[in-house]
Amino acid sequence: MLGALIFADAAAEQDEIDEVLVMATRRTVSTTEISSGLTLVDGEFVRRQKLVTDALDANVGVFLQQTTPGQGAAIIRGLKGSSILHLVDGMRLNNAIFRSAPTQYFALVPTSAVERVELLRGTPTSLYGSDAVGGVVQLVTRVPEFDSTETGMQGEVFAAYDSAELGKTLRGILDAGTRRIMTSVSAEYMTTGDRRTGSGDRIAPSAYESKAGRWLLAGNPDDNRSWLFDVHYLEQPETPRVDELVPGFGQTEPSSSEFLFAPNRRVFVHGKYGRKSGALGFDWNVDIAWQRIDDDRITRDFGATERLHENNRSDLYGLTVSGSRVSDLGSWIVGAEAYRDKVSSRRSEESLIDGQVTVLTPRFPDGSEIGRFAIFGNGERAVAPRHLLSGGLRVSHEDVSLPQTPVSAAASVNVTDASGDIGWIFNATDSWQVVANAGFGFRAPNVFDLGTLGNRPGNRFNIPNTSLDSERVVQLDAGVRYRRDRTQFELMIYALQYDDRITSVLTGDVTPEGRDVVQSINAADSTLRGVEAGADIDLTESISASAILNYTWGEQRVAGSATEPADRIPPLSGRLDIAYDPGGDFRLEGWLRFAGEQDRLSARDVRDVRIDPTGTSGWAILGARASWDYRRDWQFTLGLDNLLDKRYRMHGSGLDAPGRNLSLSVQIGNVSFR
């Protein structure tokens, strides 16, 4: 079965899945009441991965790009980075220095904290506003449950090894509590060696390590009240940026002699209070959170005698208040949110000849801030026996302030805008649904867009532009769903018009180190269309099959130039799984993953040293996995991926994918198989 695809789970689990709290819609609804495309990734599957982002690969509507090991970025409907809103328990992970290209920050969430990941594909702009133009990736964290007044304990230990990256993972979780108060403590450590690709070579340097921890304390004083306090920590001390350190396409020498994220670190503190049947008959939730992300770097251009040290930090404070209610008129939610994000940035240059240190202009204007405030409302109502309508509206205000620097004047950007969406579900039969959605939204420029000064991938050097406007999007989609006891199917088609996109353009200048000088401007208009499909069929009582197929087509016009293919659009891709589960202690699974050739490249793609200028070749790989439950609490899993040792690259990634990979894992404790 598709381990990451909950939409296609067996009918025996259907009631539980349908009633799951889908945080991406901010209220509890059945999945059959959601008109947008929805993919759910199970926490058990996530906790078997090295990174949270690894679990997003090969899902309905998702393509995973990886610039370097230790990082990963989901591409949804051809969009990525700051065009996709990333959330943890309803609180923004997107910060002021999120870039519109793939970002590494979602990989900084501990896997041991995950209950599930929700991917809402589309434009839920009435609920989340800016950044949610392509979709929402929402991580819901684990809260242990106990059904007794006596104190209980449960735990889990997971250890794994894989040969392609010489990866070693150790993870432990301990839960304790009663039905009224509970706590969870977890820790994890992971280290890898250099990646072996299908060519048989190991790419050096590509090794990294990660360490993380989490502590949760939660309570239910009575059936109407709940609260929690949650702390996350994850650090990657030194992660090399491989595409800067090895020659790319069209290069005889790498762009950099040194490039380390040293460190990448995330700290997250979250408090939540919930009250059912509160004021005005609404169920109320109040969330307050603080997130700190450190994006520090050590870099040196190829052959240079000066090493740069950067310290970049975002402190994001958030408060959200929302109330939901179910009545004879339907289901409703109203709310408000406020965020304040402050950026600190420093940069210095160290001479390798005499050790002298010189203070330089930082990557971002030090002391930059973003303030966000919004009010929103959204509801759904049955307008006829088989018709359900949903819709909402949001008014957002964003205030970006950038202090003066030696290379740019002080600037202030204020945006007040509305966004909204409407959805329709037609229950044609008890098994068939027809769904459709329309939405309009925007993405306001952030500090990264406005104020970045420094090296960018693809041998570029960015200079600030403090005169940017918001990007705008209109999205339409429609689809069908089929659900029966032994068969489930989903097909969605979509069209998206993305105007005034902020894109990086050449200025015609070149730095002394030979990097092309670029600047971000509102210069691109993009049209994206595509198909997302997934199916799960129980062929017999013990054999099941699953399939996924995704395709995106895009074109754009940049700064009045001729129409060309859109940037970094994923190729046709998919997956086919066959699973054998006789209901005993032993299970088998085999899979085929594939992607077609992508030779529809933009001018920027052709210049990108991560992308073959003649196009990324298509590929197909085979894999298999066997799992054995030993006694009650032990589970052993043996896997072999890329059986034929195929050399291939995910389109737009910074290095080739792993070659033949033997993996072995053991889990002790709460054992379940997906």
> Using a CB cutoff of 8 Å and minimum separation of 24, what contacts does 591-594 make?
591/622, 591/623, 591/624, 592/620, 592/621, 592/622, 593/58, 593/620, 593/621, 593/623, 594/618, 594/619, 594/620, 594/621
Res 494 pLDDT > 90? yes
pLDDT tens, position by position, 472-491: 999 999 999 999 989 999 99
* Neighbouring-strand partners of residue 266: 234, 293
Output the pLDDT for position 503: 87
Res 21 pLDDT > 70? no
Within a domain: 49: yes
Within a domain: 342: yes
Res 672 pLDDT > 60? no
Q: Which domain holds residue 623?
A: 6-276+284-401+421-506+515-669
Taking residues 613-622, report their average pLDDT. 97
Taking residues 292-296, report their average pLDDT. 98
Res 673 pLDDT > 80? no
Taking residues 328-342, report their average pLDDT. 93
Q: What is the mean pLDDT of the chain?
A: 91
Output the pLDDT for position 6: 35
The band of 91, judged by pLDDT with boundaries at 50, 70 and 90, is very high
Residue 619 sits in a domain whose CATH number is 2.40.170.20
Within a domain: 674: no
Q: How far apart are CA 494 and CA 476, in angstroms?
A: 6
Within a domain: 410: no
pLDDT tens, position by position, 569-593: 999 999 999 999 998 899 999 999 9
Within a domain: 193: yes
Within a domain: 363: yes
The band of 361, judged by pLDDT with boundaries at 50, 70 and 90, is very high
Within a domain: 409: no
The band of 7, judged by pLDDT with boundaries at 50, 70 and 90, is very low
Output the pLDDT for position 670: 66
Taking residues 411-427, report their average pLDDT. 93
Instruction: Write down the residue that tokens 């040969």 correspond to.
Output: 163
Taking residues 613-636, report their average pLDDT. 94
pLDDT tens, position by position, 497-521: 999 999 888 888 998 888 889 888 9
pLDDT tens, position by position, 237-274: 999 999 999 999 999 999 999 999 999 999 999 999 99
Please state, as a whole number, how many other Cβ atoms lie within 10 Å of the Cβ of residue 600: 15
Within a domain: 414: no
Output the pLDDT for position 10: 33
Q: How far apart are CA 88 and CA 642, in angstroms?
A: 32
| Domains: count for the chain | 1
